[in-house]
């Protein structure tokens, strides 16, 4: 019985001896086609194939390089790899296989080994050759990948690594539609720095008030605001040096001539102690640093505003740049925020209160970071929870539009903001607002109209540039 099985297997091997296996390997350097020796025996002895993969000398006896076509440039490599990842046969691969494989009449007895079944199906349809991705093929491709730099003449391991790294980065960028101007990491850092600066400026201003009050205690009651107080302390220095000529500079700082006159009057009758010039110099230097920090804080706020308008224009239009930035920061990224349901977005920032409420079985919080939005403050006490839920819903829509739309526009944000305004009026007066589907239809039409206008303006600018270039070329031709 055993001898009969062996004879049957041998006869099958001899009958299919003409069958040939080719293996296609797509590398970052180019396409390679290998022919496999003794295909039938390999299928029967898969464990031995697995062992030979790591040994180059043994693996060389298994596979033979038939053809190798390097990519002409990084752009060509990216185009080909994008097509292959989608299961499409690129033109370069089609031409390569047509030239390297046997003629179409003989392809019925050949099999092409591929790594991706989708690509295999596309090649089978285009080139009329059966493709396989099972059996010994995965092990063979693993061996080719391991020894590729040794199987191709003139290709080093370092060159392979550089090509793989470069193509990997460009492919990743293309897949996630990477755009330098839409990086939300900068927003997360900016809002964190802004919060830190607010705390530091406040702490330092309190220190200035306490320190300078030894010399001029009346100034605190006249100028209660921290930033203006620090500027006044930096300018005044010694209170005895103030005169009627100081009214104008103080008016410029405070924006109020009455307060400036009150400071001068108070300085003449002050109860403060005298301070040495060295102490006054130190107070002045510290006040200068605090004023510089306050000015830098304004710059960071402007930078955050412009960054939010470029990254999340609709979310910024809806709830403002700082609240939007805090939501993005809390979520980790704009993409994460877009993936959150509206219910999660509503209580974002109130996690402690939520878990405390769940633990004690009390009422859960109605809002988190959204509380800082002007809409919540304007709503009545009974409607705060309702408007918070509605606002979270609109913020969720705005963040998804900003994250996944290719063209930037603030139209959706304006429409969503108007919807929230209408909802507030509805709670107060009972006026029924428009349905969401009608509002979104209007927004889509306006966005499409705006896009057409931009395209028309762009084409008009290009025509003007061409005309200018032609006019500049004509005098040069005459010369």
- Can you tell me the distance from the alpha carbon of 334 to that of 375, in angstroms, rounded to the nearest whole number? 22
Instruction: Enumerate the β-bridge partners of residue 36.
Output: 21, 63
pTM > 0.85? no
Nearest to 292 by CA among 188, 216, 205: 205
Q: Which of 2-6, 220-224, 414-418 bottoms out in mean pLDDT, i.e. has the lowest?
A: 2-6
Q: What is the pLDDT of residue 475?
A: 58
- Of residues 418 and 170, which shows the higher confidence score? 418
User: Residue 170 contacts by C-beta under 8 Å, 6 or more apart in sequence?
Assistant: 74, 78
Tokens of 214: 């030894």
Has residue 255 got a pLDDT over 80? Answer: yes
Has residue 100 got a pLDDT over 90? Answer: no
Instruction: Enumerate the β-bridge partners of residue 21.
Output: 36, 111
Q: How many beta carbons lie within 10 A of that of residue 150, not counting itself?
A: 13
Question: Domain 18-176 falls in which CATH fold?
Answer: Nucleotidyltransferase; domain 5 (3.30.420)
Has residue 182 got a pLDDT over 80? Answer: no
Contact 416, 394 (CB under 8 A): yes
Segment 323-329 shows an average pLDDT of 94
Nearest to 340 by CA among 287, 400, 421, 423: 400
Q: What is the pLDDT of residue 408?
A: 84
Q: What does the mean pLDDT of the chain come to?
A: 84
Q: What is the pLDDT of residue 1?
A: 38
Q: What is the pLDDT of residue 203?
A: 94
Has residue 467 got a pLDDT over 50? Answer: yes
Segment 332-341 shows an average pLDDT of 91
- Of residues 51 and 126, which shows the higher confidence score? 126
38 Cα distance to chain centroid: 51
- Of residues 364 and 203, which shows the higher confidence score? 203
Q: What is the CA radius of gyration of the chain?
A: 36
Segment 190-196 shows an average pLDDT of 94
Q: What is the pLDDT of residue 453?
A: 83
Q: What is the pLDDT of residue 179?
A: 53
pLDDT band with cut points at 50, 70 and 90 for residue 428: confident
Report the percentage of the chain scoring pLDDT > 90: 35
Question: Domain 186-304 falls in which CATH fold?
Answer: Helix Hairpins (1.10.287)
Q: What is the pLDDT of residue 394?
A: 94
Q: What is the pLDDT of residue 301?
A: 94
Q: Which residue intervals of the chain bear CATH 1.10.287.4070?
A: 186-304
pLDDT band with cut points at 50, 70 and 90 for residue 377: confident
Q: What is the pLDDT of residue 169?
A: 84
Has residue 186 got a pLDDT over 80? Answer: yes
Q: What is the pLDDT of residue 174?
A: 73
Tokens of 44: 């029967």
- Of residues 56 and 338, which shows the higher confidence score? 338
pLDDT band with cut points at 50, 70 and 90 for residue 328: very high
Has residue 273 got a pLDDT over 50? Answer: yes
CA-CA distances (angstroms) from residue 202 to 86, 196, 291? 56, 10, 11
- Can you tell me the distance from the alpha carbon of 423 to that of 373, in angstroms, rounded to the nearest whole number? 15
Has residue 4 got a pLDDT over 60? Answer: no
pLDDT band with cut points at 50, 70 and 90 for residue 176: low
Q: Which residue intervals of the chain bear CATH 1.10.246.90?
A: 312-440
Q: How many beta carbons lie within 10 A of that of residue 283, not counting itself?
A: 19
Give tens-digit pLDDT for 124-160: 888 888 888 887 788 888 888 888 888 888 888 888 8
Has residue 206 got a pLDDT over 90? Answer: yes
Has residue 294 got a pLDDT over 90? Answer: yes
Has residue 230 got a pLDDT over 90? Answer: yes
Q: Which residue intervals of the chain bear CATH 3.30.420.220?
A: 18-176
Tokens of 466: 């061409």
Tokens of 365: 């919080």
Segment 69-97 shows an average pLDDT of 87
162 Cα distance to chain centroid: 25
pLDDT band with cut points at 50, 70 and 90 for residue 326: very high
Has residue 202 got a pLDDT over 70? Answer: yes
State whether CATH 1.10.246.90 applies to domain 312-440: yes
Q: How many beta carbons lie within 10 A of that of residue 251, not counting itself?
A: 15
């Amino acid at each position: 019985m055993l001898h009969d099985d062996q004879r049957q297997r041998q006869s099958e091997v001899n009958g299919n001896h003409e069958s040939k296996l080719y293996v296609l390997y797509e590398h970052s350097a180019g396409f390679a086609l290998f022919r496999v020796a003794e295909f039938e025996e390999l299928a029967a002895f898969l464990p031995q194939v697995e062992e030979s993969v790591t040994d180059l000398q043994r693996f060389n006896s298994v596979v033979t390089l038939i053809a190798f076509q390097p990519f002409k440039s990084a752009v060509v490599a990216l185009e080909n790899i994008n097509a292959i990842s989608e299961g499409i046969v690129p033109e370069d691969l089609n031409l390569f296989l047509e030239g390297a494989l046997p003629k179409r009449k003989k392809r019925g007895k050949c099999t092409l080994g591929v790594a991706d079944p989708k690509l295999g199906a596309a090649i089978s349809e285009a080139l009329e050759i059966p493709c396989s991705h099972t059996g010994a093929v995965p092990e063979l491709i693993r061996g080719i990948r391991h020894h590729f730099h040794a199987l191709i003449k003139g290709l080093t391991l370092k060159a392979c690594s550089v090509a793989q790294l470069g193509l990997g980065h460009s492919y990743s960028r293309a897949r996630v539609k990477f755009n330098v101007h839409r990086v939300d990491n900068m927003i997360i850092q900016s809002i964190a720095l802004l919060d830190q600066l607010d705390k530091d400026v406040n702490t330092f201003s309190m220190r200035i008030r306490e320190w300078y009050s030894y010399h001029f205690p009346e100034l605190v009651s006249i100028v209660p605001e921290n930033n203006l107080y620090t500027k006044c302390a930096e300018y005044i220095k010694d209170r005895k040096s103030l005169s009627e000529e100081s009214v104008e500079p103080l008016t410029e700082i405070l924006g109020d001539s009455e307060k400036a006159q009150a400071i001068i009057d108070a300085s003449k009758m002050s109860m403060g102690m005298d301070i040495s010039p060295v102490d006054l110099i130190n107070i002045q230097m510290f006040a200068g640093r605090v004023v510089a920090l306050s000015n830098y804080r304004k710059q960071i706020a402007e930078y955050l505003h412009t960054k939010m308008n470029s990254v999340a224009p609709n979310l910024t239009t809806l709830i403002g740049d700082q609240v939007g930035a805090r939501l993005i920061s809390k979520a980790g990224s704009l993409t994460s925020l877009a993936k959150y349901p509206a219910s999660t977005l509503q209580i974002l920032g109130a996690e402690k209160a939520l878990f405390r409420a769940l633990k004690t079985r009390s009422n859960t919080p109605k809002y988190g970071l959204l509380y800082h939005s002007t809409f919540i403050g304007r709503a009545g006490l009974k409607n705060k929870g309702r408007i918070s839920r509605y606002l979270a819903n609109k913020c969720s829509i705005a963040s998804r539009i900003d994250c996944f739309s290719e063209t930037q526009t603030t139209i959706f944000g304006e429409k969503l903001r108007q919807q929230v305004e209408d909802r507030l009026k509805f709670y107060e007066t009972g006026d029924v607002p428009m349905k969401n589907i009608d509002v979104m239809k209007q927004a889509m039409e306006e966005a499409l109209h705006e896009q057409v206008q931009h395209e028309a303006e762009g084409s008009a600018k290009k025509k003007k540039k061409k005309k200018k270039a032609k006019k500049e070329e004509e005098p040069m031709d005459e010369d």
